[in-house]
Amino acid sequence: MTGKRASVAIFVPHIGCPHRCSFCDQRAITGENSAPRACDVAAACERALESGAEPKNTEIAFFGGSFTAIPRDYMLELLGAARVYLERGFRGIRLSTRPDAVDRERLDILKSFGVTSVELGAQSMSDRVLGLNERGHTAEDVERASELVKEYGFTLGLQMMVGLYGSMPELDRMSAERIIALGPQEARIYPTVILKNTRLGELFQSGEYLPYRLNDAISLCAELLDRFESAGISVIKLGLHSSKDVERDMLGGLYHPSFRELCEAERYKKRIEGLIGDDKACAFTVPSRNLSKAIGQNKSNIEYFRSKGVEVKIIPDPDQSEYIIKSQTE
């Protein structure tokens, strides 16, 4: 792991959630059921060190949704355990929480324990969609909490969901634009997956909730990825991480184990489409690390253009930083 960024992930499932949001089953998403204690935080950090993680590249991440809404003593216990490892040179502490569980008192605590990044689950910036999905907060709460997190100097991350009950692509685009306008450094985009034992699952089974088609969601998320990255915001997650628990407990919705790769390929496809013009054969250079994204899974992009009568060649360039350049030589 030398030189590589490492993350010690601690899941705090559902504790602190005022109620259950329509789509959420943290146990299925995280595979965790029990509440971690200080000794679990220490044990996870020690395991990371034993496996070769360098402290200066290692971050402790409390995930699970509602960190700042958990009982205060319990929050102090977990933060205290994490701070020990900050003092041993760890890079930072990240946590995710609800926008309505952010205020100055809690941010003062996070600051005093050395927290570096705060992620807020915005999910949507439509109050109607937030209400239908029983989030229990408004878009204004997201705006207020985001401003406060930035004022305190934390790295701000915002999470949004695509295809929630009551949403539609235009509303998801609007949410993305309002989230971008809040100026986060990082974002996560989660297409909605329908899990068993959730309100969304019931709505799906009764026919009241119809998820987007997967291909439409990939196309939309490719567009959102473009918008976020063009605004200088790093999309650190796109799609629910692939997991056996999710695959076992899902009823339907927008899940694919390679969701991000499919979106990245779609993004290149759209960009190439816009650059081809009337050419029947053309070549493009891309950064070498993006070669497989530009070609697509199983050369899907090359085959797509071939089916339209256009031969596309992708040339990797290790020195190129620009996303794609149309070659003049073909």
Q: Which is nearer to ligand SF4, 12 or 282 (CB)?
A: 12
Q: Are strands 186-191 and 234-238 parallel, antiparallel or unpaired?
A: parallel
Strands (E), 48-124: 58-63, 92-97, 115-123
Q: Count residues binding ligand SF4 (CB under 6 A).
A: 11
Q: Which is nearer to ligand SF4, 14 or 106 (CB)?
A: 14
Q: Which is nearer to ligand SF4, 10 or 222 (CB)?
A: 10
CA-to-CA distance for 286 and 294, rounded, in angstroms?
8
Interface pick for ligand SF4 out of 58, 66, 124, 290 (rule CB under 6 A): 66
20 near ligand SF4 (CB under 6 A) = yes
269 near ligand SF4 (CB under 6 A) = no
Q: Which stretch binds ligand SF4 (CB under 6 A): 15-23, 74-82, 83-91, 218-226?
A: 15-23
Q: Which is nearer to ligand SF4, 21 or 61 (CB)?
A: 21
CA-to-CA distance for 74 and 102, rounded, in angstroms?
16
17 near ligand SF4 (CB under 6 A) = yes
CA-to-CA distance for 55 and 151, rounded, in angstroms?
27
Q: Are strands 325-326 and 281-287 parallel, antiparallel or unpaired?
A: antiparallel
Give the number of other Cβ atoms within 10 Å of residue 141's Cβ: 20
53 near ligand SF4 (CB under 6 A) = no
161 near ligand SF4 (CB under 6 A) = no
User: Are residues 69 and 98 in contact, defined by beta-carbon separation less than 8 angstroms?
Assistant: yes
Q: Which is nearer to ligand SF4, 64 or 201 (CB)?
A: 64
Nearest CA to 213 among 205, 221, 201? 221
Q: State in angstroms the smallest separation of the CB of 29 from ligand SF4.
A: 8
65 near ligand SF4 (CB under 6 A) = yes
287 near ligand SF4 (CB under 6 A) = no
- Kindly report the three-state secondary structure assignment for every residue of 217-271: HHHHHHHHHHHHHHCCCEEEEECCCCCHHHHHHEEEECCCCCHHHHHHHHHHHHH
CA-to-CA distance for 255 and 212, rounded, in angstroms?
11
124 near ligand SF4 (CB under 6 A) = no
CA-to-CA distance for 154 and 54, rounded, in angstroms?
23
Q: Which stretch binds ligand SF4 (CB under 6 A): 19-27, 78-86, 181-189, 195-203?
A: 19-27
94 near ligand SF4 (CB under 6 A) = no
121 near ligand SF4 (CB under 6 A) = yes
Kindly state the tokens that stand for 152.
């305190």
Strands (E), 98-173: 115-123, 155-162
26 near ligand SF4 (CB under 6 A) = yes
Q: Which is nearer to ligand SF4, 26 or 124 (CB)?
A: 26
Interface pick for ligand SF4 out of 94, 98, 260, 267 (rule CB under 6 A): 98
Q: Which is nearer to ligand SF4, 35 or 231 (CB)?
A: 35
Residues in the site for ligand SF4, rule: CB under 6 A?
Answer: 14, 17, 20-21, 24, 26, 64-66, 98, 121
